[in-house]
Amino acid sequence: MSLTSREAGRRPRIPDVTIKRLPVYLRALDEAGERGVEIVSSAELARQTGFTSEQIRKDLAYFGAFGTRGVGYDVGTLADRIRRILGLHRVVPAALVGAGHLGTALARYNLTRPHPVRIEAIFDVAPDKVGTSIEGVTVEPVERLEETVRAKGCRLAILAVPAPAAQEAAQRLVAAGVEAILNFAPAQLQVPAHVQVQHIDLGLELESLAYYTAGERLSV
C-alpha cells in the first residue's frame, strides 16, 4: 500500500517521500508565520517537524534554492513556494464518494480547519442520503458523478465506499478526469499509471500496529 511511485517520471523524478513531507514543512512554516517569525533555519524547521535539517534542505533542493546562506529561509516566501509546488495556492476542488459515517466525518473534518482542498461534490447510492446536505454540499446520486466531477473540475477524489463498490467508483472517477485518489475502501484499486492512489486502510493499520503490542515474542 502507500504511494505507488510511478515510473512515468515527473521532471527530475522527485521521491514520493519528499512530496509527503512538503505539507509538513508548509504547516510548520504557517505556524511560524502566525507567531510572527520571519526567518527560519532548516535546524529550526527540523525541531518543529521531527525530520533532520539535512533532509529538509535536500527535499527543498529538488525544487530550487530557496534559502540564503548564513541566514535561513524567509518564512513567507518559502511557504508560498511550497504551496505552489503542491498546487495549494488556489482552491483544489475535490469529490467525495460515499456519504456514510466515514465520508461524513471526512467532509466535516475538511471544514474544521480551513484548507485549500475543498470537498465540492459528494455522491452516494442510498436514496435517503441523496438530496441531504453535508456542510453545505448537497449529496448527489452516483449517476451524476461523471457530469458533476467534470463540471466542478475535481481532479482529486476521496473514496469512502464499501469495498465491493470501490473499483467501479474509481473507474468512473478516473473517466471523469480524476488524477489522484485517497482510498479508504479495503480494496486494491486497478487504475491507469498516471493516477496516484493513496490507500488508507484502517483494518490494515490496526493489524500492523498489533505487532508492536505483542510484547515478549519468542521465535515463531
Partner DNA sequence: AATTGTGAAGCATTTCACAGCT
Partner DNA sequence: AGCTGTGAAATGCTTCACAATT
CB of 34 to a copy of itself, least distance (A): 14
Give the separation between CA 131 and CA 44, rounded to whole angstroms: 49
Binding test (CB under 7 A) with DNA, winner from 1, 31, 58, 147: 58
The one of a copy of itself, DNA, none whose footprint includes residue 50, by CB under 5 to 8 A per kind, is: a copy of itself
Establish how many alpha carbons lie within 13 A of residue 112's alpha carbon, considering only the half-sphere containing its beta carbon. Answer: 7
Site residues for a copy of itself, 104-133, by CB under 8 A, read 104-106, 108-110, 113, 115-117
Residue 207 Cβ, how far from DNA at the closest point, in Å? Answer: 18
Question: Which x/- pattern, by CB under 7 A, does the window 6-45 give for DNA?
Answer: ---------xxxx---------------------xxxx--
- Cβ proximity of 28 and 45 under 8 Å: yes
- Cβ of residue 49: shortest distance to a copy of itself, in angstroms? 7
| Residue pair 197/189 in contact by the 8 Å Cβ criterion | yes
Binding segment for a copy of itself among 37-45, 95-103, 120-128, 168-176 (CB under 8 A)? 95-103
Measured from the CB atom, is 64 or 70 closer to a copy of itself?
Answer: 64
How far apart, in Å, are the Cα atoms of 214 and each of 39, 162, 209?
A: 45, 30, 9
Cα-based distances in Å from 75 to 19, 54, 55, 135: 19, 18, 18, 33
